[in-house]
Amino acid sequence: MICKQDILGCVFLLSICVVFSLGINALSPNGIALRGQWNPDKGVVMAGANKAHGVDVMQIINPLKVKQLLESGRVIVLDVRWPEIYDQGHMQEMGFDVATQGADQ
Partner 1 sequence: MSNLFRFNNRAYLSSMDSGRRTGMIEWGLRLFLGSPFIVASWHKIVSPDQFATILYGYALFPPQLINVIAIVMPFLELVCGITLITGLLKRSGLLLINATLVGFIFLISFNLIRGHEFDCGCFSLGNTKGLWSSVWLLVRDFVMLGAGVYLFMLFEGPRKKREDSRS
The footprint of partner 1 (CB under 8 A) covers 1-2, 5-10, 12-14, 16-18, 20-22, 24-25, 30-36, 38-39, 45-49
Give the CA distances from residue 36 to residues 43, 60, 65, 67, in Å, rounded to whole numbers and listed in that order: 12, 17, 24, 28
Q: How far is residue 97's CA from residue 65's CA, in Å, rounded to a whole number?
A: 20
- Smallest gap from Cβ 44 to partner 1, in A, equals 11
Q: How far is the CB of 19 from partner 1 (least distance, A)?
A: 9
Q: Which is nearer to partner 1, 6 or 71 (CB)?
A: 6
Please, which residue, 5 or 59, has the CB nearer to partner 1? 5
What would the DSSP string read from start to end of 55-70? Answer: PP------HHHHHHHH
